[in-house]
Amino acid sequence: MRVQVAIIGAGPSGLLLGQLLHRAGIDAVILEQRSPEYVLSRIRAGVLEQGTVALLERAGVAARLRAESLAHRGVGIAFGGSRLRFDLQELVGKSMAVYGQTEITRDLMEARAAAGARTIYEAEEVSVHGFAGTKPTVRWTKDGAARELECDFIAGCDGFHGVTRAAVPQSAIRCFEREYPFGWLGILSDTPPVDLEIFYAFHERGFALCSMRSTSRSRLYVQVPLTERVEDWPDERFWAELRRRIDPDAAARIVTGPSIEKSIAPLRSFVAEPMRFGRLFLAGDAAHIVPPTGAKGLNLAASDVHYLSQALIGWYRTGSAAELDGYSGRALARIWKAERFSWWLTRLLHRFPDEGEFLWKMQQAELEYLAGSRAAQTALAENYVGLPY
């Protein structure tokens, strides 16, 4: 088998890249280790920057998003018994959209199937070869048989634990990482959102977040130590803890219900440099991870796909390698700014168990400064809605 581009990974970044290339007439095949059902079972973020929405429009998969997404025009931070609201539209003239990552994945899968584009699921033992030269190959097994394809380029969209970054010689890559001493215990429940807008909570017991997927489905989180187990958190305990951490008005409005998904996610910041190795390009979680604070993970993956799709389309249309050569630098410039914002917001809103009362006082002072400074509020809003590509 031969294709122009081999994409490893059928998460949102791989599927979106495949859809954009297909619409540009570029032959791309996607290889995914898991089944379609498993891919769709992964519960992830759902707050989209305008750039991400525009990219989904360009890919021709935004019809359901336009019909079903919720407008996210403001965001709040609860602290000291009250709530500070940031009017995104008024501060920076932009808003965001709430639409679950699972739904984006479903839309992309259906579009790819309707177009007859090739996605190979349950591809085992995937490996990439020859990307330092001009004839890369990808090998895998399917139903016990060994397979191989030749391609012009490989796009590594296979996540933090994927095979593509691991295939790069250690001497050619540099990794930067910060692990955080806590996790997010999250639940999904078929209950109305606590508020019409997403809000974060800063509390002496730890961080909390009240978000939603629709007008009848909520996504809620509380900060917990990494030693906690999901089994230690029956629904009743979760709802009681959430009430303690948010402002009293919101706590009084909570409608409780059984969780339909519950998990604990550790937090880390991670960046790999560069993102190009010959004819292998990394995108999304294969190259970077951000804490979920600020909802930058999916949006950063989308901006990678924007740069990489433009570069590949340009190469096939004009033969120019200029955008391919510039891909890593352009992507990383935006990545590091988003990493900075996610790190700052995480440090501002969480209780760090080993850093004492000085940091706690600094966090309170920062929040009070935000409450009284339009300039600080504008800076937060500018980063929250997403910096331009």
Confirm whether 192 is domain-assigned: yes
Q: How far is CA 121 from CA 102, 138, 381, in A?
A: 17, 14, 39
Confirm whether 81 is domain-assigned: no
Asked whether residue 64 falls in the same domain as residue 115, the answer is yes
* Pick from 254, 256, 285, 255: nearest CA to 271: 285
| Tokens coding 259 | 């969780």
Sheet of 137-142, strands arranged across: 124-129, 137-142, 145-150
Asked whether residue 276 falls in the same domain as residue 263, the answer is no
φ, ψ for residue 378, nearest 5 deg: -65, -40
* Pick from 185, 182, 189: nearest CA to 232: 185
Asked whether residue 172 falls in the same domain as residue 187, the answer is no
Which CATH number covers residue 226? 3.30.9.10
CA gap 159, 178 in Å, rounded: 17
Confirm whether 166 is domain-assigned: yes
Contacts with 218 (C-beta within 8 Å, 6 or more apart), sequence order = 188, 189, 190, 191, 192, 193, 194, 210, 211, 212
> Which ranges of the chain have pLDDT less than 70?
43
Confirm whether 84 is domain-assigned: no
Confirm whether 36 is domain-assigned: yes
pLDDT at residue 264, as a whole number: 96
In the DSSP assignment, the letter for residue 351 is: -
262 assigned to active site = no
Asked whether residue 137 falls in the same domain as residue 187, the answer is no
- CA–CA–CA angle 266, 367, 98 (5° rounding): 55
99 assigned to active site = no
Find the domain containing 28 and state its range: 5-70+97-177+268-345
- Using an 8 Å Cβ cutoff, are 324 and 330 in contact? no
* C-alpha R_g of the chain: 21
Confirm whether 376 is domain-assigned: yes
- Using an 8 Å Cβ cutoff, are 11 and 39 in contact? yes
CA 363, distance to chain mean position in Å, is 26
Asked whether residue 126 falls in the same domain as residue 274, the answer is yes
Asked whether residue 293 falls in the same domain as residue 307, the answer is yes
200 assigned to active site = yes
Q: Over the stretch 156-179, which tens digit does the pLDDT of each residue have?
A: 999 999 999 999 999 999 999 999
Asked whether residue 166 falls in the same domain as residue 215, the answer is no
pLDDT at residue 161, as a whole number: 96
H helix intervals, 284-355: 297-318, 322-349
CA gap 106, 112 in Å, rounded: 10
pLDDT at residue 42, as a whole number: 79
Asked whether residue 250 falls in the same domain as residue 283, the answer is no
Catalytic residue among 72, 262, 306, 350: 72
Catalytic residue among 99, 200, 307, 327: 200
Asked whether residue 112 falls in the same domain as residue 213, the answer is no
296 assigned to active site = yes
Which CATH number covers residue 149? 3.50.50.60
The domain tally of the chain equals 2
- CA quadruple 92, 97, 100, 105: dihedral positive or negative? negative
Catalytic residue among 180, 221, 307, 384: 384
316 assigned to active site = no
Q: What is the pTM of this model?
A: 0.95
> Which residues in 130-173 belong to E strands, given as ranges?
137-142, 145-150, 153-156
Confirm whether 85 is domain-assigned: no
* Pick from 291, 189, 187: nearest CA to 233: 187
CA gap 53, 59 in Å, rounded: 10
pLDDT at residue 41, as a whole number: 86
Asked whether residue 23 falls in the same domain as residue 130, the answer is yes
Confirm whether 86 is domain-assigned: no
Is 222 exposed, middle or buried (CB count within 10 Å of its CB: 0-12, 13-18, 19+)? buried
Asked whether residue 198 falls in the same domain as residue 332, the answer is no
Can you name the residues that pair with 269 across neighbouring β-strands? 178
* Pick from 380, 157, 177, 168: nearest CA to 270: 177
pLDDT at residue 126, as a whole number: 98
- CA–CA–CA angle 313, 282, 65 (5° rounding): 65
Asked whether residue 157 falls in the same domain as residue 197, the answer is no
pLDDT at residue 45, as a whole number: 73
Catalytic residue among 288, 292, 307, 350: 292
* Pick from 295, 39, 72: nearest CA to 186: 295
